[in-house]
Structure 1
Amino acid sequence: MKFKYLLAASAVSLSATAAMVAAPAAAQQITSGIEGRVVDEAGTPVQGATVTVTDTRTGQRSVLTSGPDGTFRVGSLVPGGPYTVTAQADGYEGQSVEQQFITVSGNTSFTFELTQSAAENVIVVTGARANVQQLAVGPGTAFGEATLEAFPSLSRDVRDIIRLDPRVSLERADEVDRISCLGGNDRSNTFTVDGIVQADVFGLNGTPFAARNSLPLPFDVIRETSVEFAPFDVEYSDFTGCLVNVVTKSGQNEFHGSAFYTYYDDSMLSDTIIRPDGEEVPLSSGSEERWGVTLGGPIIKDRLFFYAGYEETDLGDANDEGPLGGGFANPEFGVTQAQFDRFSQIARDVYGQDPGGYPRTLEETSVRYFGRIDAYINDDHRLEATYQRLEESNVEPDFGGGNITGLNSFEDEGTISDYYS
C-alpha cells in the first residue's frame, strides 16, 4: 500500500509547503517558546526593556521589547538548545542567562530582576537567579536529546523511551508492544512526527504507527519526543489516551553526524533449548542486522541548514512452528515432516507447482529515509521543509492454525509511505 500526504501548515513559524507566516502563528506541537517578565529590585515592571533570545546552534536571534507590565514572549523556537537570553534596559545593569534548553511540552519562563546602574553592563547570571521555570500545557513528559542518546533502546523505538513515564505501559499482544496510557487501549492514542499524524488510524498494523513493523523514521533523527495526556492547548487533538509527539533534528552552524551498526545471528546463541521434561529440542534464533547514518550542517552559515538520516533493519525472525518431526521447537502435531515432503513432491511432479520448503526464519526488512532543510529568512521568519520515506516488508504465514504449507504460500506484506511537509 502507498500513502502520500501533502500538508500545508506543518505547524512551524512559517509552516507550510513553501509558505511563510509570522512567528506568533506557530503551533505548540513541534516548537517551543520563551516568555517572562523584566522588573526592578522593588518588583516594579520595567517597560521598554530589550530582551534578546539567541539560539547558539544556528545564530538565530529574536529581539523583544517588554510591555507595560514588563512581560515578553516569543514562540516558534526550535526545541533543545542551548539558548542565551539577555535582558537590558536604560539605567539598569543587564542580565544574561546562558545554556538554557527548552522543550515541546511548554514554554520556559524567566524573571529578570534588574539593578539600577549608570554603567549599563551585562552580567551573566544563573538560571536560579533568573527564576527559570518550565511551564506546561498539561500533564505530560518530554524526553530531550540527551535522554534519547543515553537510554538504551535495543529495538531503536520511542516506545522504549516513553515508558519511563509511569503513566505509560507496554502491553504485549500478538507479538506487538502496544502503548497503554493510563490503562487505556492503544487505539485511543495518536502518534505525530513534526506535527503530522502518523498513527495506525485503520487499526491493522503491527505497531501503533503508520508502519507495519517499525518506527516510521530513523531513530537517530529524533531531537525530542514527548507524551501528553490531557493538554489544554487547542493544537492537540484526536486522542483520548495520549499523544506521542516526535520532533526531528535540524542542521546547525557546525557539522554533526553519527553512524551505528549492530548484528547477531545463530552463532551467538545456543543451538538448542531444554524443555521442563528434559527433552532437548533445536532452537531457531534467527538473525538481526541494523545500521544507519546521519549528517547535518550548514549550507549557508546562519541562514540555510540541512539534516539527513538513513536507517536499515534486516531481520530473520525465528520460526519455531513447523511439521512434527522437522526439528521445530513447537511442532504442529497434525502434520508430520514426512507428510509435508510427500505433499511437496506430488505438487511438483504431478501438478508442476513448487510449494517451497518450510522456513525456519521469516525475513523482515525496513528502510527509512529522512531529509530536512531549514532556512532562516530573518529574525521573524523561518522556512522548514521535510521529507520522510519508509519501505518495509515481512514474510508471514497466510493460513490458519493447524495448517501447514510451503514458503511460496506465505504472504509478503509491508508498507511504502512518503510524507512531505
Structure 2
Amino acid sequence: MRFSSLNRLISWRALYDRRPAVICALTLFMILSGTGSEPLAREIPVQQHGSIKGQVVVDITDQRRPLAGVVIFLSSERLGDRKLQTVSDDEGRYNFTGLTAGDYAVSVDLQGFKKYEHRTIVQIEATVELNILLQPIALSETVTVTEDKTDAGKTETTTAGVITSTTLRDAPLIDQKFQDALPLLPGVVRGPDGTLNIKGTRPNQSGILVSSLNVTDPVTGSPAIELPLEAVETVQVYSNPYSADYGKFTGAVTTIETRAGSNDWRYLVSGVLPRPRWRDGKLFGIGAVTPRIAIGGPISKNKLFFFQSLEYRFVRTNVPSLENLEERQRD
C-alpha cells in the first residue's frame, strides 16, 4: 500500500516536470477535436466583373461608317447619380470594363443625330457586344409667305419713290440739302447745269409740295424755300402725277412731309464741323459750314406739339473763270 502511493507520487512528479509538453499537446488536441468542425481558414470571395464594348456607327441608307470622338454615357442603379463615360477611338470603338453584374443603360446625345439609348444586362465575367447606330436628323426647311405692307394700293394711280429721314441723315450730301438726295431715286438725273430732271422733263415742268403746300418757283422750278435736313421726315417723288390730288404739273411732283413734335422733349445739334477749303494742296480757310439745331416737344401733353429747326449756311463757291485773279479777289 505504501509502495503504491509512492509510485503514484513519482508519476505525478514526472508529469509535473513535463508540463510544457503536456500543455502544448492538450492545446493541439482542443483545436483539432474540441472546437467544432469549422475550417481553419475561411475562403475570401473574389468579386467577378463584366464589360460592355462595341462600335459607334453612323446609320446612313446603304452606307455605314464608324464615327470617332463620340462621348458614350453609361448609367445604372448601382452607380446612383454618377455616370461613366468614354470616347470612341479613330475606328469608332469604345469599351467599359470592370462592371459589376447588373442592368445598365448606354446613351449617346450628339448634335445632328437622334438621341440613342439602350438598356442591357451584364452577366458575371461576361462581355456584352453592343454596336451603337446613330441616325441623322432629317433636315427640313420652312418658307413663310407674309403680306407685303408696302404694297401699292390698288386704288392709287401712281407709286412714289420714298427717301426717309434716316437716308437723308446717312447719305453723303455735299451741300446738306434734301435735293442732293433725289438722284438716289430712279428716273431722277442731275443735268450739267446742276438742275434736276425727273423722267426726262425740264425743271419748270415739275413741282414741289411741302406739307401739301405748293412752294415751286414758277420760273426755275426749284423750291422757293430752304428746309433744314432735320425738319424733313420723308421725301416722295411721283414721276407720273396723274392723280386728281396733283394738278398743274406735266412732269413730276416732289412732296415733302415735315417732322412733328411728340410728348418727349428732344433736341439735336449737327453740322458744327466746318469743311476746309484747299487750293493747290494748301489750306485757305473755311469752304463751307452749315450748323443746324432742332428742338421739339409738347406744348400741351397729348394734345399740342411743336418742332423747330434752325440752320446757318455759309458756303464759298469757286469761279473757275477767274483763275488769274489773286486769291483774296476770287470770293
Report the TM-score, using the length of structure 2 for normalisation. Answer: 0.50
Using CA pairs below 8 Å that are at least 6 residues apart, which structure has the higher relative contact order? 1
Higher strand content, 1 or 2: 1
Please say which structure displays the higher CA radius of gyration.
2
